[in-house]
Amino acid sequence: MSAIDTPVSAAHLAEAKKGVAFGIAAHLVWGVMAYYFKLLDAASPVEIAVHRGLWSLAVAAIVIWLLGQFDDVRRALASPRIVLTLLFTSLLIAFNWGFYVWAIQHGRTIEASLGYFINPLLNVLAGAIFLGERFTRLQLTAIALAVIAVLIQTIAAGVVPWLGLMLGASFCLYGLIRKTVAVGATQGFFIEVLIIFLPAFAIAVWMGETGEALFLTTPFYTWMLIGCGVLTATALLFFSVAVRRIRYSTAGIMQYISPSLVFLTAVFVFGEPMDGWRWLSFVLLWGALAIYTYAALREGRRMQEALEPAQG
Protein backbone atom coordinates (compact mmCIF):
# COMPACT_ATOMS: atom_id res chain seq x y z
CA MET A 1 0.00 0.00 0.00
CA SER A 2 1.43 3.41 -0.90
CA ALA A 3 1.54 6.34 1.51
CA ILE A 4 -1.34 8.02 -0.28
CA ASP A 5 -3.56 5.00 0.32
CA THR A 6 -2.88 4.80 4.07
CA PRO A 7 -6.11 5.03 6.09
CA VAL A 8 -6.61 8.44 7.68
CA SER A 9 -6.94 8.60 11.48
CA ALA A 10 -7.06 11.29 14.12
CA ALA A 11 -3.75 10.06 15.55
CA HIS A 12 -2.15 10.26 12.10
CA LEU A 13 -3.32 13.84 11.64
CA ALA A 14 -2.09 14.82 15.11
CA GLU A 15 1.35 13.41 14.36
CA ALA A 16 1.36 15.15 10.98
CA LYS A 17 0.63 18.49 12.68
CA LYS A 18 3.56 17.93 15.05
CA GLY A 19 5.72 17.13 12.05
CA VAL A 20 4.75 20.35 10.30
CA ALA A 21 5.53 22.40 13.44
CA PHE A 22 8.96 20.83 13.81
CA GLY A 23 9.63 21.23 10.09
CA ILE A 24 8.81 24.95 10.08
CA ALA A 25 11.02 25.50 13.14
CA ALA A 26 13.91 23.69 11.44
CA HIS A 27 13.67 25.81 8.32
CA LEU A 28 13.50 29.06 10.27
CA VAL A 29 16.81 28.14 11.92
CA TRP A 30 18.35 27.19 8.56
CA GLY A 31 17.10 30.45 7.10
CA VAL A 32 19.10 32.62 9.49
CA MET A 33 22.25 30.50 9.33
CA ALA A 34 23.43 32.06 6.04
CA TYR A 35 23.89 35.40 7.79
CA TYR A 36 25.47 33.63 10.76
CA PHE A 37 28.07 31.95 8.54
CA LYS A 38 28.79 35.24 6.77
CA LEU A 39 29.86 36.63 10.14
CA LEU A 40 32.47 33.84 10.15
CA ASP A 41 33.97 34.84 6.80
CA ALA A 42 37.47 34.77 8.28
CA ALA A 43 37.12 31.05 9.08
CA SER A 44 37.54 28.43 6.37
CA PRO A 45 34.55 26.32 5.29
CA VAL A 46 36.42 23.27 6.59
CA GLU A 47 36.81 24.73 10.09
CA ILE A 48 33.16 25.75 10.21
CA ALA A 49 32.03 22.28 9.06
CA VAL A 50 34.34 20.66 11.62
CA HIS A 51 32.90 22.66 14.51
CA ARG A 52 29.37 22.03 13.30
CA GLY A 53 30.12 18.35 13.79
CA LEU A 54 31.95 18.65 17.10
CA TRP A 55 29.41 20.77 18.94
CA SER A 56 26.41 19.08 17.34
CA LEU A 57 27.52 15.91 19.12
CA ALA A 58 27.52 17.70 22.47
CA VAL A 59 23.98 19.00 21.93
CA ALA A 60 22.72 15.66 20.62
CA ALA A 61 24.25 13.81 23.60
CA ILE A 62 22.44 16.12 26.03
CA VAL A 63 19.14 15.51 24.20
CA ILE A 64 19.68 11.73 24.23
CA TRP A 65 20.46 11.85 27.96
CA LEU A 66 17.42 13.97 28.78
CA LEU A 67 15.16 11.62 26.81
CA GLY A 68 16.77 8.49 28.27
CA GLN A 69 17.55 7.07 24.84
CA PHE A 70 21.08 5.70 25.30
CA ASP A 71 19.73 2.12 25.34
CA ASP A 72 18.12 2.81 21.96
CA VAL A 73 21.46 4.11 20.67
CA ARG A 74 23.26 0.96 21.85
CA ARG A 75 20.70 -1.26 20.12
CA ALA A 76 21.04 0.74 16.90
CA LEU A 77 24.85 0.51 17.04
CA ALA A 78 24.51 -3.28 17.35
CA SER A 79 22.88 -3.38 13.88
CA PRO A 80 25.46 -3.32 11.06
CA ARG A 81 22.76 -2.31 8.57
CA ILE A 82 21.73 0.74 10.62
CA VAL A 83 25.35 1.77 11.24
CA LEU A 84 26.27 1.50 7.55
CA THR A 85 23.18 3.46 6.54
CA LEU A 86 23.94 6.21 9.05
CA LEU A 87 27.56 6.24 7.94
CA PHE A 88 26.31 7.16 4.49
CA THR A 89 23.90 9.82 5.78
CA SER A 90 26.65 11.30 7.96
CA LEU A 91 28.79 11.69 4.83
CA LEU A 92 25.87 13.45 3.14
CA ILE A 93 25.59 15.81 6.10
CA ALA A 94 29.30 16.66 6.08
CA PHE A 95 29.24 17.15 2.31
CA ASN A 96 26.24 19.47 2.54
CA TRP A 97 27.69 21.47 5.43
CA GLY A 98 31.00 22.14 3.72
CA PHE A 99 29.70 23.14 0.31
CA TYR A 100 26.94 25.33 1.72
CA VAL A 101 29.41 27.40 3.74
CA TRP A 102 31.75 27.54 0.73
CA ALA A 103 28.91 28.93 -1.40
CA ILE A 104 28.14 31.69 1.12
CA GLN A 105 31.78 32.68 1.48
CA HIS A 106 32.31 32.81 -2.31
CA GLY A 107 29.35 35.03 -3.16
CA ARG A 108 27.13 32.20 -4.40
CA THR A 109 24.43 32.33 -1.75
CA ILE A 110 21.70 32.87 -4.37
CA GLU A 111 22.76 29.68 -6.16
CA ALA A 112 22.77 27.84 -2.83
CA SER A 113 19.21 29.05 -2.21
CA LEU A 114 18.27 27.66 -5.64
CA GLY A 115 19.26 24.20 -4.42
CA TYR A 116 16.94 24.42 -1.46
CA PHE A 117 14.13 25.98 -3.51
CA ILE A 118 14.10 22.94 -5.80
CA ASN A 119 14.43 20.54 -2.87
CA PRO A 120 10.64 20.29 -2.22
CA LEU A 121 10.11 19.32 -5.84
CA LEU A 122 12.96 16.83 -5.65
CA ASN A 123 11.12 15.39 -2.63
CA VAL A 124 8.02 14.89 -4.78
CA LEU A 125 10.11 13.12 -7.40
CA ALA A 126 11.88 10.96 -4.82
CA GLY A 127 8.60 10.14 -3.09
CA ALA A 128 7.14 8.91 -6.39
CA ILE A 129 10.21 6.90 -7.42
CA PHE A 130 11.23 5.34 -4.11
CA LEU A 131 8.17 5.46 -1.84
CA GLY A 132 5.36 4.79 -4.31
CA GLU A 133 3.68 8.16 -3.78
CA ARG A 134 1.55 9.29 -6.71
CA PHE A 135 2.00 12.39 -8.82
CA THR A 136 -0.94 14.71 -9.32
CA ARG A 137 -1.30 16.94 -12.37
CA LEU A 138 -0.49 19.99 -10.26
CA GLN A 139 2.67 18.36 -8.94
CA LEU A 140 3.77 17.51 -12.48
CA THR A 141 3.11 21.12 -13.52
CA ALA A 142 5.21 22.38 -10.62
CA ILE A 143 8.10 20.07 -11.51
CA ALA A 144 7.95 21.15 -15.16
CA LEU A 145 8.15 24.84 -14.17
CA ALA A 146 11.12 24.13 -11.92
CA VAL A 147 12.94 22.34 -14.75
CA ILE A 148 12.31 25.33 -17.04
CA ALA A 149 13.64 27.67 -14.33
CA VAL A 150 16.88 25.71 -14.01
CA LEU A 151 17.26 25.57 -17.81
CA ILE A 152 16.86 29.37 -18.02
CA GLN A 153 19.62 29.87 -15.46
CA THR A 154 21.83 27.38 -17.28
CA ILE A 155 21.37 29.01 -20.70
CA ALA A 156 21.70 32.57 -19.38
CA ALA A 157 24.84 31.86 -17.36
CA GLY A 158 26.33 29.42 -19.84
CA VAL A 159 26.91 26.90 -17.06
CA VAL A 160 24.76 24.47 -15.11
CA PRO A 161 24.09 25.75 -11.55
CA TRP A 162 25.85 22.64 -10.26
CA LEU A 163 26.34 23.93 -6.74
CA GLY A 164 22.64 24.56 -6.16
CA LEU A 165 21.62 21.27 -7.78
CA MET A 166 24.18 19.37 -5.73
CA LEU A 167 23.04 20.90 -2.45
CA GLY A 168 19.38 20.23 -3.22
CA ALA A 169 19.99 16.65 -4.33
CA SER A 170 22.18 15.77 -1.34
CA PHE A 171 19.63 17.09 1.15
CA CYS A 172 16.80 15.31 -0.66
CA LEU A 173 18.74 12.03 -0.52
CA TYR A 174 19.50 12.55 3.17
CA GLY A 175 15.84 13.06 4.03
CA LEU A 176 14.76 10.08 1.95
CA ILE A 177 17.20 7.68 3.60
CA ARG A 178 16.51 8.97 7.11
CA LYS A 179 12.80 8.38 6.58
CA THR A 180 13.37 4.72 5.75
CA VAL A 181 16.10 3.72 8.22
CA ALA A 182 14.80 1.87 11.30
CA VAL A 183 16.08 4.24 13.98
CA GLY A 184 14.54 7.11 15.90
CA ALA A 185 15.10 10.70 14.86
CA THR A 186 17.25 11.85 17.77
CA GLN A 187 19.07 8.52 18.11
CA GLY A 188 19.90 8.50 14.41
CA PHE A 189 21.23 12.05 14.43
CA PHE A 190 23.35 11.30 17.52
CA ILE A 191 24.94 8.33 15.75
CA GLU A 192 25.55 10.43 12.62
CA VAL A 193 27.43 13.14 14.50
CA LEU A 194 29.19 10.47 16.57
CA ILE A 195 30.55 9.06 13.30
CA ILE A 196 31.59 12.55 12.21
CA PHE A 197 33.24 13.38 15.56
CA LEU A 198 36.59 11.55 15.29
CA PRO A 199 37.60 12.84 11.84
CA ALA A 200 36.29 16.30 12.78
CA PHE A 201 38.32 16.31 16.00
CA ALA A 202 41.46 15.19 14.16
CA ILE A 203 41.05 17.99 11.60
CA ALA A 204 40.43 20.55 14.35
CA VAL A 205 43.64 19.52 16.15
CA TRP A 206 45.61 19.62 12.89
CA MET A 207 44.30 23.09 12.05
CA GLY A 208 45.23 24.30 15.52
CA GLU A 209 48.75 22.89 15.23
CA THR A 210 49.31 24.47 11.81
CA GLY A 211 47.95 27.85 12.86
CA GLU A 212 45.01 27.73 10.43
CA ALA A 213 42.29 27.66 13.08
CA LEU A 214 40.36 30.65 14.39
CA PHE A 215 38.98 28.65 17.31
CA LEU A 216 40.34 29.93 20.65
CA THR A 217 41.95 32.97 18.99
CA THR A 218 39.25 35.37 20.24
CA PRO A 219 36.13 34.91 22.39
CA PHE A 220 33.96 36.05 19.45
CA TYR A 221 35.18 33.40 17.01
CA THR A 222 35.29 30.72 19.69
CA TRP A 223 31.66 31.20 20.72
CA MET A 224 30.50 31.69 17.14
CA LEU A 225 32.07 28.38 16.10
CA ILE A 226 30.49 26.63 19.07
CA GLY A 227 27.19 28.23 18.08
CA CYS A 228 27.49 26.64 14.63
CA GLY A 229 27.07 23.25 16.23
CA VAL A 230 24.21 24.32 18.48
CA LEU A 231 22.21 25.78 15.59
CA THR A 232 23.06 22.85 13.31
CA ALA A 233 21.98 20.24 15.85
CA THR A 234 18.77 22.10 16.67
CA ALA A 235 17.73 22.38 13.02
CA LEU A 236 18.62 18.81 12.06
CA LEU A 237 16.97 17.32 15.14
CA PHE A 238 13.80 19.27 14.36
CA PHE A 239 13.94 18.13 10.73
CA SER A 240 14.55 14.48 11.67
CA VAL A 241 11.53 14.55 13.98
CA ALA A 242 9.42 16.20 11.28
CA VAL A 243 10.31 13.94 8.37
CA ARG A 244 9.31 10.79 10.26
CA ARG A 245 5.84 12.15 11.05
CA ILE A 246 4.66 13.32 7.64
CA ARG A 247 4.56 12.04 4.07
CA TYR A 248 7.89 12.69 2.41
CA SER A 249 6.36 14.77 -0.37
CA THR A 250 4.31 16.73 2.18
CA ALA A 251 7.59 17.80 3.79
CA GLY A 252 8.02 20.02 0.74
CA ILE A 253 5.23 22.35 1.84
CA MET A 254 7.35 24.23 4.36
CA GLN A 255 10.75 23.71 2.74
CA TYR A 256 10.73 26.99 0.87
CA ILE A 257 10.87 28.96 4.14
CA SER A 258 14.63 28.64 4.62
CA PRO A 259 15.65 29.26 0.98
CA SER A 260 13.36 32.31 0.89
CA LEU A 261 15.14 33.76 3.91
CA VAL A 262 18.52 32.86 2.41
CA PHE A 263 17.57 34.39 -0.95
CA LEU A 264 16.39 37.64 0.65
CA THR A 265 19.57 37.79 2.73
CA ALA A 266 21.74 37.22 -0.35
CA VAL A 267 20.05 39.94 -2.42
CA PHE A 268 19.30 42.62 0.15
CA VAL A 269 22.00 42.07 2.79
CA PHE A 270 24.94 40.52 0.91
CA GLY A 271 24.19 42.47 -2.29
CA GLU A 272 24.67 39.54 -4.69
CA PRO A 273 23.70 40.47 -8.30
CA MET A 274 20.37 39.49 -9.88
CA ASP A 275 19.95 40.05 -13.63
CA GLY A 276 16.68 39.81 -15.58
CA TRP A 277 17.10 36.15 -16.54
CA ARG A 278 17.84 35.17 -12.98
CA TRP A 279 14.74 37.00 -11.76
CA LEU A 280 12.67 35.23 -14.41
CA SER A 281 13.95 31.82 -13.36
CA PHE A 282 13.18 32.50 -9.70
CA VAL A 283 9.70 33.82 -10.53
CA LEU A 284 9.01 30.54 -12.37
CA LEU A 285 10.39 28.61 -9.44
CA TRP A 286 8.22 30.49 -6.96
CA GLY A 287 5.25 29.81 -9.23
CA ALA A 288 6.10 26.11 -9.13
CA LEU A 289 6.25 26.20 -5.33
CA ALA A 290 2.93 28.05 -5.14
CA ILE A 291 1.28 25.39 -7.31
CA TYR A 292 2.77 22.60 -5.25
CA THR A 293 1.73 24.23 -1.97
CA TYR A 294 -1.83 24.67 -3.23
CA ALA A 295 -1.93 21.00 -4.23
CA ALA A 296 -0.61 19.90 -0.84
CA LEU A 297 -3.08 22.06 1.09
CA ARG A 298 -5.94 20.75 -1.03
CA GLU A 299 -4.87 17.20 -0.24
CA GLY A 300 -4.79 18.10 3.47
CA ARG A 301 -8.36 19.39 3.30
CA ARG A 302 -9.47 16.16 1.62
CA MET A 303 -7.85 14.15 4.41
CA GLN A 304 -9.68 16.23 7.02
CA GLU A 305 -12.99 15.80 5.20
CA ALA A 306 -12.43 12.05 5.03
CA LEU A 307 -11.82 11.96 8.79
CA GLU A 308 -14.84 14.01 9.89
CA PRO A 309 -17.57 11.49 8.84
CA ALA A 310 -15.65 8.70 10.56
CA GLN A 311 -15.50 10.70 13.79
CA GLY A 312 -19.20 11.55 13.57
| Residue 175 confidence (pLDDT) | 83
pLDDT of 269 > 80? The answer is yes
- Assigned domain for 1 exists: no
Could you read off the pLDDT of 58-86 as tens digits, one per residue?
Answer: 999 998 999 899 999 999 999 999 999 99
- Assigned domain for 244 exists: yes
Its domain, for residue 232, covers 31-303
CA distance 84 to 89: 9
- Assigned domain for 119 exists: yes
pLDDT of 2 > 60? The answer is no
Could you read off the pLDDT of 92-123 as tens digits, one per residue?
Answer: 999 999 999 999 999 999 999 988 888 877 88
Per-residue three-class SS string for the chain: CCHHHCCCCHHHHHHHHHHHHHHHHHHHHHHHHHHHHHCCCCCCHHHHHHHHHHHHHHHHHHHHHHHCCHHHHHHHHCCHHHHHHHHHHHHHHHHHHHHHHHHHHCCCHHHHHHHHHHHHHHHHHHHHHHCCCCCCHHHHHHHHHHHHHHHHHHHHHCCCCHHHHHHHHHHHHHHHHHHHCCCCHHHHHHHHHHHHHHHHHHHHHHHHHCCCCCCCCCHHHHHHHHHHHHHHHHHHHHHHHHHCCCCCHHHHHCCCHHHHHHHHHHHHCCCCCCCHHHHHHHHHHHHHHHHHHHHHHHHHHHHHHHHHHHHC
pLDDT of 1 > 50? The answer is no
- Assigned domain for 230 exists: yes
| Residue 236 confidence (pLDDT) | 78
- Assigned domain for 146 exists: yes
| Residue 3 confidence (pLDDT) | 42
- Assigned domain for 270 exists: yes
| Residue 6 confidence (pLDDT) | 45
Of residues 152 and 133, more confidence is placed in 152
- Assigned domain for 309 exists: no
Question: What's the rounded mean pLDDT across residues 121-134?
Answer: 79
- Give me the chain's average pLDDT, please: 86
The structural domain count of the chain equals: 1
- Assigned domain for 78 exists: yes
